[in-house]
Structure 1
Amino acid sequence: MAPLTDSKQQERLLCGMIDLYDNQMLTDVILTAEGKDIACHRSVLAASSPYFRAMFTNNVMETTADRVELQYIDIDSLQAIVDYMYRGSIDIDEGCVQNIFTTASLFEMVPLCELCAVFMTGELCVVNCVGIYQFSSFHHSEMLKTASKNYVVEYFGELVQTSSDLLELSFADLAEVISDNNLNVSAEEVVYEMVIKWIEYDLTDRRRYLSQLFRLIRFVLIPESYTSDVVCSNELVASDKFCMAHLSMVKLFRLTKDGATEESEEGFDTDFDLNTYPRLGMYNAKMMVFTGGSQDRHTRALTCYDPKTRKNYYAIPLHVSFDFKYRIDYHRTVVTGDNKIYLIGGIFYEDHHFETAGPALNEVKMFDPYRNQWVDCAPLLRQRCAHAVAHDNGAIFVTGGKAVYPGGEAMSSVERYDITTDRWHYVSDMPVRLCHHVAQVHRSQILVLGGMIEETEATNIFLRYDISHDSWQMIDNRMRVPRAEFGVTILNDELYVIGGCNGGLKISSVEILNLATERWRFGPDFPEDRKSMVAVTYEDCVIVCGGIRTLISRMSRMPRVVETRDMWKFDPALGVWSREAKLVQYANTHACVVAEMNTKRLHESEYVSR
């Protein structure tokens, strides 16, 4: 006899139980918490929770009781969980998630605990990561603990400076964090100072952990002068025999070997039992970061160049050099004070090269350096390319540009982006319409210079935007040379304006504005007439990379436009320009910032710039 299956029966059964629950029919047990009651069905509780199954099937007092009082459980969490048992859905927010997790853990409801853990993982930030790490450690949630610990490890350097939460960690949790090779600190001294602060926070109870934590500090990575001047002079360290013996071992290691550079494969010296492996954060380097088009319309490239080592890197590769399908032009990039990189607007090459009025983009993306991917942010309120961007105190400002290109009218509108809320809104318009201009922040004011008013007419306009008063001021003290598509940067309280174009003519002149005296002067000319270069400040020098120049063919004597990717440096102390590299492999002429990047997370090119 073949069984007949009714696929709808389970759904009818569930709907029937929900209806009985909602209408308080045939309920056979009352759960009580904080003096309030919830009437429900034993069978549903037992089917959903091993805790209640054991309670109602093991011949204990609650097995047949009409009322079960639950201690140390808040009624809101209990109500939410009982509703979840019937309906399979639950409303969770930051305020209730830990209480719900705790109660679900008591009830042994693993799937609900996992839902809460996933939610908390998605809410991790610098403010709550330490608290969530402690919570997950206490409740033995391995998935949540791994995620929160990794977050603490990644932001350890920032947490040490901005938060006291690390001082609340247990010994075991702190030891686990500072043992991690991926600890994001640029200097091991940060780890030592954190350990001392943690012990001094509760000296009576924590002093006994000093020697155990001391072994986890990689003193071989700390300068010998710091060890002798700071560490050895600390009273806690000086009075601990193990600590002093450990420091003697470090000193002996330095005398007998070349130090941390001669590490074993695992990062431990077998003779001295010293961990010499560098932390992940010690691979951070200040680099020039370029952005552009990549392999499709939705991804963006991020590439890097280290002027010190002359090495080239990429996190996300550029579009294929001979294929302009996904190339993006006239976009802008900005880096915030906490090293977040944003790419804003632009236009695809094909949309402006083959069209007279191609649509610009309103896309905004933030780079996630831990996953090596761009994260979509709230889009601009208007499509923009050939605009200018600036950052100040948690806000990004976007000025002018064009919504269609190359045709279309330049805009005067200005948008402000609140990084915390991920929202854009308009602020006061500029007094004029501009594109291909520049913007720099100085003392919480945005300086806007140059650009194009008409399609071919460059200007020497100088505007100042007062952020606090949302007001624009036209400055009479202008650049002497009207220009657009030029490089700009600030070094030692002086603003450098470099190259650019006016109509069809490219410019080599350099103008320097002393921001204290508000006086302009000409600087040494850039070695070539060039436009669309990027300029940044790096190690007390002005760096210029890439750009578009005009060459004369030796054969035909005809001019041809060439996009270059070389790099030049101007040292104010020497007063001269010098070419530092003939080719920066992954350079981009439209967007470059200086940011901290970790070489361990990047792909290194075999090509070294010369």
Structure 2
Amino acid sequence: MASANPVDDDDSVEFKRFELIVIAPHKLKYINPHFKKVNAKMYDYKCDIKLRVGNANFKAHREVLSQASDYFSAMFSHDMLEKEQDVIELLEMSPNGFSLILDYFYHGHVTLDPESIDDVLEAARFFQADWVVEVCCDYLICQLSIDNYQSVLQLADKYLLGDLRGDIFHFLGQNLIQLSEEEDFYVNFDLELLTKFLKEDVYVDAEEEFVLELVTKWVDAKKEERKDYLLPLLRLVRFPLMDIESLETIPSQLLKWPEIQDAVEEAKYYNNNIPAQSLCKGERFRSRGAMPSVVMFTFSSDVCAVTYQNIASGTRVSEELASSGLETEFDSSSIVKVGNFLYRTGGYDESVCSSVHVCRYNPRYRNWIQLADMNEPRVSHAICASEDRIFVIGGIDHTVGELGDEDTILSSVEVYDVRENHWKLLTNLPTGSYNQAAAFDDNCIYVSGGISADPFDSVPMTTVWRYNIDQMSWQSRRDMLYNRQGHSMTELDGKLYVFGGYTLVDGPGMHVFRDCYNCEVYDIESNQWTEICSIPETFSHVMRTVGLWDRTFFLFGNGVLHAYHVDEDRMAYGDYVGMAVQKIAVLDVAYPL
């Protein structure tokens, strides 16, 4: 495609798409810094083509137009009739739009205001001037307001500005309550816009109760005309996101359809059976606009905070959490993801003894709730999960008594039934251990490394055990390539990926733990370990919890979040997070961009 914006493709130079001059509050001048200067001057005596646009005439240079647009390049080619014509007619185009884009063809800049934006977009699309379309989109987004969002959406549809639709929906989502307070909002709000907005997975800065109210008030505004749209719109309401009190007070006229009545009953069950909420899947259970994000927790006596990093955009948001009173347990507790919830087990209590407490984090409400306690208190234990069960393995029972601190290395294994909110004991480990890692695959639990209660085992261990749940028995598997403790192990596609932790190094007259930068993967079917891309040596201890999303692992250490891409066996360097992080996971989280 011919272009008026040729660019030297150099990744080492930051690419600046445009420069901007504010002429007036709603009048902006966009300048292309990569525009190739044109030698010819507009309307000079060397103009060799006349263009009739509507009722206006323009003179220009064939060469300039050919270089600027594929449309003119084709027109002036050898096999087109217009090649020999001295006058070209473009009767269906706005003279104003053509005048402004002609400025761009010659000078590399375009001036936009509310009166001209439609004409410029028309000309830019017609002549395939992509840079002009891009700055028109930027202008529309910058000028987006409560007064003009519908006209902007119409322009987005008219000129196929697909990316712009998302920005408009985000604007609606974050201003919906304010918009609804305008006079005649419900009367004038377009059905197609309302339907598409509710179907899109857009963050809405309002509770789902307001979405239901939005639907009913919109129908009531023109009841006779809109009553047939009520059921299709009710199907787009996510009833499980409403609280139980709101569900109980839904008007009976909305429940006359069996499918809506069933949806409300399902929502009531979801709200009443809190422990089993993580087993419910589907869009109706997800917060509107929830996006996969790396969730990073920071807990101390002074700080109770969480940071979310959107995986797609890299946007990072931090917020403080309400204190749960259990922050002292967090550092030495273990966490695991089930559904879109995070479960935390054990850790230290206020008396610095091992805890039996279990809590669950809900990314929608940003809170922890306490669930059924484990049978045994434990810290520094391994944890893994299936779709509906959580397994905790080993760890330490630390107590403080009159004679001082005592540590008991545990061999016990417990399973938590998410649906029933109940723990029961399984077959003990062959030998007690702590700071090990665990993963679940095909109804088997795998446990690797850690520090053993057996003095004859290496410190830390390379040992790998597999527990078959059906057979209730432990079997040894092939040892890891590196001995390690405090590491992570995660299952993906029949393989176990192991990152980080500590290994032991012999020093002069002493044994020293150091960060283990070597990473490895275990193929379950072949019972073989293979070394993979190592962690950068500037990366200090990788905690035993890592986040996994779409075949990418997210690792945290030394204040930096890194990503390991499985298919490329490549470690991507991340940005400095700027805070101490104790646990990480990947969850779908809804927050304004």
- Taking structure 2 as the reference length, the TM-score comes to 0.48
- Taking structure 1 as the reference length, the TM-score comes to 0.47
